[in-house]
Amino acid sequence: MEFTPDFIAKLKKQDHNAFNEFYLKTIDMFFRYINANYRLPAQDAEDIIGDFYVKRRDAIKNHDDKQSFTGYFRTIFKNTIKDHFKKNTDTPFTELESTYDERAKFEDTLIDGNDLTEFLEHDYKFDQIQKAMKELDDTDKDIVYRKFIEEKSYEEISFLLGISQDTVRQRLSRAIKRLKELLK
């Protein structure tokens, strides 16, 4: 997502129309980011995003035009999330959402012998993959991890790393080729 220098100048001048346009262009992206990365009630997500827009409106005055505006507002957004968790450290464990089915019997949650054997065999393969992953550079490792472990979309990875979706796809493709070579 790119913004023109004229648009950024309008934001710096506290132009209400520019702020509304910025809001409409970014609100869905921020909600998706929070929903993809944190298990928060909708009210908390709304609070974080509301705080972000207030902070962004004040912080835009300090934006250096030499810096990436997109990177600048993403940093403000991530810091707003951190601030939320610092302020709300008293969230009881029972209020956190869980994917665990409370109706399941305890016995059904245990792993049986066959599953354990399969897991250990899988773990051995995982060890080989880990060794191969160490050969990749940090950005490629991050992209592979986010795509296949965290199951993030190209758009989310692009947002998190501050690079284009095309670059994410290209680096992922090259990383997979490299891993295949290393695992032969």
Tens of pLDDT, residue by residue over 30-74, are 888 887 777 788 888 899 999 998 888 888 888 888 888 888 888
The conformation of residue 13, written as its DSSP 8-state character, comes to T
Last residue of a domain, one of 48, 66, 93: 93
Q: Which residue has the higher pLDDT, 66 or 103?
A: 66
| 164 found inside a domain | yes
Q: What range does the domain containing 32 cover? A: 5-93
Q: Say what the pLDDT of residue 6 is.
A: 92
Instruction: Evaluate whether 85 touches 68 at the Cβ level (below 8 Å).
Output: no
| 118 found inside a domain | yes
Residues 15 and 59 in one domain: yes
What's the domain count of the chain?
Answer: 2
Q: How many angstroms separate the CA atoms of 60 and 119, rounded?
A: 51
- pLDDT of 93 strictly over 50: no
Sole residue written with tokens 């060890």 = 127
Residues 87 and 128 in one domain: no
Q: Say what the pLDDT of residue 17 is.
A: 92
CATH number for the domain spanning 16: value is 1.10.1740.10
Q: Say what the pLDDT of residue 118 is.
A: 60
Q: pTM (2 decimals)?
A: 0.48
